[in-house]
Each structure stands twice: as structure tokens, then as C-alpha cells.
């Protein structure tokens, strides 16, 4: 049951992150034609991601019900589902998230306006309920509010960084076309600026989040939670290292060793995506474990 719950949480996180990051970066590109080209290439994938994400989120409430009752049959028990949805903090946050996910599906439906700003706002809103179902719910008063707000900020920063990487690869491909190099360069610089800000917010909010969770009980290196958290931190730092290498080494090599630099940048970016996926998988499990 724990594994199924964690995997659905992972899929919910991954899809939300991708949809928000892609939409936000397209909105910030500064070039409508460039954004349209990249969005067209990703359109079918984004719709599939939105559907998978919705299915994953809709499975979470039944899984929570089964977890509380310790019985798989609770997944289809209407009374139990209603009780969990209306009388628990998790269920109330899930209702908000389910509504947000439905809005996300609507804005990604075929025939809808490909308005990147609208999609960025809607997908960003869909990330907010995630901050209401984490370990912040274990606290009370202003600490609970501060922790939840920090979780939301952490999720938005992570979503932008990881989710914008496919758009970065699209901009990089268009940069290779001489006629579009100038506007692609501007878009890549915007990505760099926004990416730096997102990483800074992510690291600061992540450190604060860890302190809020671990400080009451102290460190217990033998706890599964802390071990997984340390792996998560190591993977996040690996992502930062890959991003720094791309930005401060290979980008500067584009003039002299273009093909090699492009190959390395693409490789490192794909590695960032895989490592980011591993981080989200760990997050899916961490949220179900009790801190030491």
C-alpha cells in the first residue's frame, strides 16, 4: 500500500512540476514565436502529462482512505471516502488539488487557447495544495503557517527549475538555426536569470524546511527518514553541479567548440531531468514517513 501511495504521489508531483515549469518558462521567454515553436513540439506530450497527473491525483484520496483503514476495500467505500475528504486536513487539501487539476486539464484540452501565462498561473495554483499536505500539518499556530508557506515556495521553485528544462532544450535547438539565434539567445538568457533565482529559493527554502522538520527531535542518523533526506539533498546538489557546469563552462565554449559544447549541455540537461525525477520519487516516499 505504501509503495502504491508513494508512486501516485510521485506521478502527481512529476506531472505538476513539468506542466508548471514548461508553462512558466514559455511565458517568460520574451518571444511569442519562439514559445509557440517549442510549445507545438511539446503539445501532445503536455496533454498526456496532464491526463496522467489527473489520474494520479484522483487515486490519492482512495489510497489515503485505505491507508487510514488499513484495508484496500476502503478505496471504494463511499462513506469512508466522504469522511476522509470532509473531515481530515489531507482530504480538504486533496479536494482543492483535485479542483485545480481539473482546471489544468481544461487549459490543456485540444482547441483551448495556448496562452502560456494562463497555463502558468493555473499550473502554479495546482502546486499550492501540496504545501498543505506535508509535514507542516503536524505543527500548529504560526509555525504551521510559515512551514506551509515555505513548502509552497519550495515546490514552485523546484517546479520551475525542473519543469523548465525541456523548454531550455527546445530553445537550444532553435538557437542552432541562424535566423532564430538572436531571439533564442535572449530566451536562453532569461532562462539563466530565472533559473539562478529558482535555485537560490529552492536551496534556502529546502534548508529551512529541513530545519523545521528535524529541529524538534534532533538528528537520528539511523532513521529511514533522515537517510532518504540525505540522499535527496545529495541528488539536489548534483543537479546544481550539472547546472553550474553547463552555465559556467559549456555555455562559454559555444563559440569555439560548438558541437562538443552543445552535446555536453544536452547531456547534462537530460541528466538533470533524470536526477530531478529521482528526487521527486524520494519526495513521494518521504511525505509518508514520520520524521525522527
pTM (global) more than 0.95: no
Express each pLDDT in 171-221 by its tens digit: 999 988 888 888 988 999 999 999 999 999 999 998 888 887 777 666 667
pLDDT surpasses 70 at 129: yes
CA distance readout (Å), 3 to 6, 9, 69, 288: 5, 10, 16, 10
**Average confidence (pLDDT) over 79-99:** 89
| Interior angle at CA 287, CA 46 and CA 137, nearest 5 | 110
Express each pLDDT in 214-255 by its tens digit: 776 666 677 888 888 899 999 999 999 999 999 888 888 888
Mean pLDDT (the chain) is 87
* Nearest one of 278, 239, 230, 277 to 17, comparing CA atoms: 277
| Backbone angles phi and psi of 128, in degrees to 5 | -60, -45
- At 216 the pLDDT is 63
pLDDT surpasses 80 at 32: yes
- At 255 the pLDDT is 80
DSSP state of 30: S
- At 116 the pLDDT is 86
- At 172 the pLDDT is 92
> 64 near 84, Cβ under 8 Å?
yes
Express each pLDDT in 2-12 by its tens digit: 788 889 999 99
- Helix (H) or strand (E) holding 102, with range, is helix 89-107
pLDDT surpasses 70 at 138: no
CA distance readout (Å), 32 to 27, 29, 115, 116: 8, 8, 10, 9
Amino acid at each position: 500500500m505504501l509503495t502504491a501511495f508513494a508512486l501516485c504521489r510521485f506521478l502527481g508531483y512529476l506531472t505538476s512540476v513539468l506542466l508548471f515549469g514548461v508553462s512558466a518558462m514559455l511565458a517568460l521567454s520574451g518571444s511569442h514565436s519562439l514559445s509557440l515553436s517549442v510549445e507545438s513540439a511539446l503539445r501532445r506530450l503536455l496533454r498526456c502529462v496532464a491526463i496522467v497527473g489527473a489520474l494520479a491525483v484522483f487515486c490519492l484520496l482512495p489510497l489515503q482512505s485505505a491507508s487510514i483503514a488499513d484495508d484496500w476495500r476502503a478505496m471504494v467505500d463511499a462513506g469512508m471516502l466522504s469522511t476522509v475528504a470532509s473531515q481530515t486536513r489531507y482530504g480538504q487539501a486533496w479536494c482543492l488539488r483535485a479542483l485545480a487539476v481539473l482546471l489544468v486539464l481544461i487549459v490543456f484540452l485540444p482547441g483551448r487557447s495556448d496562452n502560456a501565462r494562463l497555463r502558468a498561473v493555473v499550473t502554479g495554483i495546482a502546486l499550492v495544495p501540496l504545501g498543505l499536505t506535508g509535514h507542516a500539518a503536524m505543527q500548529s499556530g504560526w509555525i504551521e503557517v510559515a512551514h506551509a508557506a515555505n513548502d509552497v515556495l519550495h515546490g514552485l521553485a523546484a517546479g520551475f527549475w525542473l519543469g523548465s528544462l525541456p523548454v531550455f532544450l527546445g530553445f537550444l535547438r532553435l538557437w542552432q538555426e541562424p535566423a532564430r539565434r538572436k531571439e533564442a539567445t535572449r530566451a536562453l538568457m532569461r532562462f539563466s536569470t530565472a533559473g539562478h533565482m529558482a535555485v537560490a529559493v529552492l536551496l534556502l527554502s529546502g534548508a529551512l524546511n529541513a530545519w523545521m522538520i528535524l529541529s524538534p527531535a534532533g538528528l537520528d542518523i539511523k532513521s529511514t527518514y533522515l537517510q532518504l533526506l540525505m540522499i535527496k539533498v545529495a541528488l539536489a546538489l548534483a543537479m546544481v553541479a550539472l547546472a553550474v557546469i553547463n552555465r559556467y563552462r559549456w555555455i562559454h565554449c559555444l563559440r569555439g567548440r560548438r558541437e562538443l559544447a552543445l552535446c555536453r549541455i544536452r547531456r547534462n540537461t537530460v541528466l538533470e531531468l533524470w536526477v530531478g525525477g529521482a528526487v521527486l520519487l524520494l519526495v513521494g516516499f518521504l511525505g509518508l514517513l514520520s520524521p525522527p
